[in-house]
Amino acid sequence: MIRYTDTIEGLTPANLVGFFVGWPNPPTPETHLEILRGSDEVVLAVDGETGNVVGFSSAVTDGVLASYIPLLEVLPRHRGKGIGRELVRRMLAKLDGFYMIDIACDRELVPFYTPFGLRPAHAMVIRNYDRQSGRAGREQERP
């Protein structure tokens, strides 16, 4: 049984194992929790029995005009059951009212997002692969 929540209350790194599949230098579960804590919005799909997260999405916003959904992932063995779509549906509902709602994705995922009203557009990005596991020095920046 999967339940959905928009809070990280009570969540520990142990509940966040197995994400960032295929990333050569993935964030640790501890860093993953930090990412969720630093996001303006999160939606989690949680296994009702174990309390472990099986899918998540995060968003950052300026609170007025612009919002961006940097991360969406469902654990491989839970894919293809509608969890990804439900995470997107719930996240878009949270971001309703923003002028800009942006997601950068690979071309193959365009059909996944199109039914939600998202349309393809060009994006310019920087990817510092040596920082894929997290930003240097962030530990010092947090109080």
Ligand X SMILES: CC(C)(COP(=O)(O)OP(=O)(O)OC[C@H]1O[C@@H](n2cnc3c(N)ncnc32)[C@H](O)[C@@H]1OP(=O)(O)O)[C@@H](O)C(=O)NCCC(=O)NCCS
Helix and strand element counts for the chain (H, E): 4, 5
Output 74 or 95, the one with its CB closest to ligand X.
74
Output 129 or 137, the one with its CB closest to ligand X.
129
User: CB of residue 116 vs ligand X: minimum separation in angstroms?
Assistant: 11
User: CB of residue 78 vs ligand X: minimum separation in angstroms?
Assistant: 6
Handedness of CA 56, 115, 99, 134 (dihedral sign): positive
Output 64 or 125, the one with its CB closest to ligand X.
125
Residue 108, token pair as written in the block: 């193959």
| Contact residues: ligand X, CB under 6 A | 72-74, 79-85, 103, 105, 108-109, 112
Question: Are 60 and 40 spatial neighbours (Cβ–Cβ below 8 Å)?
Answer: yes
